[in-house]
Each structure stands twice: as structure tokens, then as C-alpha cells.
Amino acid sequence: MSSRITEVEVLVTSPDRNFVTLRLTTDDGVTGLGDATLNGRELAVASYLSDHVAPLLVGRDAHNIEDTWQYLYRGAYWRRGPVTMAAIAAVDVALWDIKAKVAGLPLYQLLGGASRAGALAYGHASGRDVPELFDSIRAHLEKGYRAIRVQTAVPGIDAVYGVAAQPTAEGARYDYEPAQRTALPVEEDWDTRAYLRHLPTVFEAVRNEFGPELPLLHDGHHRMTPIQAAKLGKALEPYDLFWLEDCTPAENQDALRLVRQHTTTPLAIGEIFNTVWDYQTLIREQLIDYVRSAVTHTGGISALRKILDYAAQYQIKSGIHGPTDISPVGMAAALHLDLAIHNFGIQEYMPHGERTNEVFRQSFTFDGGLLHPGTEPGLGITYDDDAAAGFAYTPAYLPVNRLKDGTMHDW
Ligand code: GCO
Ligand code: MG
């Protein structure tokens, strides 16, 4: 049984924000979708796909997913990197979508079937001060969330990552959206000592208000040195975090060894990683507790499955990246994996806006704090070309960050 790829389309659309989608069609008329969105650098992946990958795919057997993955990875010679791995991910996910549609099964069935009723999701609460943060947490609890990420403003800092510009009581479609449609990146500011002083007081207040049960998460967004991260992890121990994410810049795996020596706060990392090699030391030495990679940025379902299987041998769990810059296609791929793997931990969830959902019709559901990919054959996403046509690509940048004296810093 073979099914040849006859058409390769790279679809760029901007409902609410920019998305790059790959659509493959086979000679028997089956289509598959893959997400290739790389926030702030979207057109680089679109060009990689249409200029360099599309010509290689026409005529290939859509069922040979692993062979196609290896062909694109080894064949490029220039391995790894976010652009390459996002492009390969899009092909991989589109091929899994096709295979599952041909089989007439939801994709998770091909990955081993369901290991759980649904994927525990965490939502993003934020506030410019503690009362506003409490309102945001309450709004999320009312929507059914059973785990909450907590980000707050810091006194003395004007603009901080992860805090919604205009939080709404109903839980906001966009709790925050880091990419801005501006000619130049928006500038934020930063002061690590002020942050380290402030954050434990916020978690103390949240625990006092909401009790010991609620799983709480926090994202450090790569801004600390190892010793600062160790200090924060230790200071947060009384508040029993589910995880502390990206406490140091992710390039240096050894940094986490130092953090680990000082704190029992669970650590999550990996949203900007691209391959298993970024995790080699972290997993083998058990320096982390959660793998944060996105299906979209790590070579797709085939590659992330291998990373998670490796992590499972060390009791390290999944925490797949799921902000709004992962399209509904990438989100659906994550949910099929979440349902199937044994070492599932938690799934990040930021609901997309209405316009996005018009373009990407989806079968996945959020109910009682759990996400489920649905039971339609394949990924369960259809792309509405007519809706997409109304939303032209608009350049957008992620922010940059400076210390008070003007020095560039991680945001
Ligand atoms: C998260 C991430 C995102 C990133 C975003 C960049 O934990 O959800 O930190 O919010 O900032 O994906 O494009
Ligand atoms: Mg993050």
C-alpha cells in the first residue's frame, strides 16, 4: 500500500497572530496538516519548506514517515536549529495526520492508544498586583482549570514577560501575547534582585488564599544565572511548586546541575530546544523533571516521542509547550502524544482566539481541566482556506529586554 504525495502547500495566515501551516495531499486525495510556526521568524520556515523541502516531497510515499524524517534531517547536512527542525516537524506531523486518516483512526491510536482519560492542562494567570492575580486565578478556576501558572509584575519594573497588558475577569483569550505587530521589537526592562525579592511573597499570598492542593507553576523565562535560580528554587520550596520553568538560559545544560544541588523545586526546561541532544545531560543526570519541547519545534511527533521515551527511563515527564504561537495543528499533535505516552506530566494550554478557530476547525476539547484530542480520524483539524484568505501575514516581533543601565538581557 502506498500513497504518493502529489501536492505540497505552505499556508501563511494571520488570524489574531501569524501561523505557518504545511498541507500535504496524496494521489488518493488524503490531506495532512503540520504546524511550522516559529514566532517572530515565520517566513524563514515558510521559505525553508517551499524553497527547499517541497521539491523533495512530491512523489514520495506518504506512509514512510521515519524514512522521510531521516531523509530531511540527514539530507540537509546542516542539522538541528529551530528553522530546520520546525520544517521537519511540519512534514512529520502532516504525514502522521495522513496515516491516521487512511487508517480511519484518531492519531493517538497509532501511537499506542489512550493511556488516560484526558491531558491535565495548566492555564496562565497573571496580574499587575496580587488582587488582580487572584482575580485571574479565580477566573481560571471557574473555567475548570486544575493547574495554574502564576506570573506577576515586579515593583520597580515597567514591563515583564507573561503579564497580560489588560487582564480580563473572564480569563482573557490572550493572557499575554509576546509577539507584537510593531516595526521594531518592544523593549521590556529587568532587575533580577527585585524579582527574587518579590516572587516568594506572591507565592506565599497565593498559597494562603487558594490552599495547598492547587498545582502552581512559574516561568523564569531564561533570566537568571545558575546561583540566582538556585536561590529562587530554594525560596519557593515552602510553596510546593509543580515546576519552575526555564530558570536559566537553556543552552548550558550544566547550569542545571548547580541549580539541582541546591533545591528540590521541580525543574522544567526545553521550549527552545530542537533535538534530543539538547537534553542529553539533563535527562541522563536527572537534572530536570519535565520536558518542555513543542512538537512543532522539535522535529515533530516522531522525534518528540523518542525524547519522551528516553526521559521515561529516568522518571522524567512531559510538559509539552502550548502557548498561542503553537497553532491548533501543533496543539492537536501534542494532545495525541499526551494521551498515548506513559510519562505524561501536564500540558500547557492557552486557548486561541475566535478568528484562529475559524481558520483551524478543531475536534479537541477542554472539559473539567482536561484536554482531549477528539476521536476524528487523523489529528482532528481542518484548515478553512476561505477564512484564512482574509488574514494577511503581518510582521510581528518578540520583545527584547534591557537592564536598567541599558545592557541587553534575556526577556
Ligand atoms: C511559555 C513560553 C512562551 C514563549 C513564547 C515565545 O512557557 O509558554 O515561555 O510564552 O515566550 O512561546 O514565542
Ligand atoms: Mg516558557
Domains in the chain, start-ordered, CATH in brackets? 5-105 (3.30.390.10), 110-377 (3.20.20.120)
Residue-level pLDDT at 163 = 87
Q: Say whether 195 is catalytic.
A: no
Torsion of CA 283, 285, 287, 288, to 10 degrees: 20
Residue-level pLDDT at 166 = 58
Residue 99 Cα to ligand 1 midpoint, Å, equals 30
Residue-level pLDDT at 175 = 59
* Residue 225: other Cβ atoms inside 10 A: 15
Cell triple for 391: 488574514
Torsion of CA 347, 349, 355, 359, to 10 degrees: 0
Residue-level pLDDT at 171 = 44
Helix, strand, or coil here: 244? strand
Mean pLDDT of the chain: 95
Confidence of residue 355 (pLDDT cuts 50, 70, 90): very high
The C-alpha atoms of residue 98 and residue 116 are separated, in whole angstroms, by 24
Which residues lie with the beta carbon below 6 Å from any ligand 1 atom? 39, 178, 219, 221, 271, 323, 325, 348, 398
Residue-level pLDDT at 165 = 67
- Across the range 151-176, mean pLDDT stands at 71
Residue with cell 516559529: 38
- Across the range 226-244, mean pLDDT stands at 98
Q: Say whether 352 is catalytic.
A: no
The C-alpha atoms of residue 163 and residue 178 are separated, in whole angstroms, by 10
Tell me the per-residue pLDDT of 108-126, one tens digit each, with 9 for 90 and over: 999 999 999 999 999 999 9
Residues in CB range of 11: below 8 A, 6 or more apart? 20, 21, 22, 23, 383, 385, 388
Confidence of residue 172 (pLDDT cuts 50, 70, 90): very low
The C-alpha atoms of residue 28 and residue 116 are separated, in whole angstroms, by 34
Per annotation, catalytic residue among 221, 297, 321, 336: 221
Ligand having the closest approach to the CA of 161 = 1
Report the percent of the chain where pLDDT is more than 90: 92
pTM: 0.97
Written as one string, the DSSP assignment of 64-75 is -HHHHHHHHHHH
- Across the range 77-92, mean pLDDT stands at 98
CA-closest residue to ligand 1 atom 10? 323
Residue-level pLDDT at 289 = 99
Atom of ligand 1 nearest to the CA of 161: 11
Tell me the per-residue pLDDT of 343-353, one tens digit each, with 9 for 90 and over: 999 999 999 99
Residue 319: which region, alpha, beta or left (left: phi > 0; alpha: psi -120 to 50)? beta
Chain centre distance of CA 337: 13
Higher pLDDT, residue 408 or 161: 408
Q: Is the ipTM of this complex over 0.95?
A: yes
Confidence of residue 316 (pLDDT cuts 50, 70, 90): very high
CA-closest residue to ligand 1 atom 13? 39
Beta strands per DSSP E along 249-395: 267-269, 290-291, 317-320, 346-348, 360-362, 365-367, 370-372, 381-383
Residues in CB range of 137: below 8 A, 6 or more apart? 125, 148, 150, 206, 209, 210
Atom of ligand 1 nearest to the CA of 221: 9
- Across the range 58-83, mean pLDDT stands at 98
Residue-level pLDDT at 177 = 82
User: Around 197, how many Cα atoms within 13 Å sit in the side-chain half-sphere?
Assistant: 8
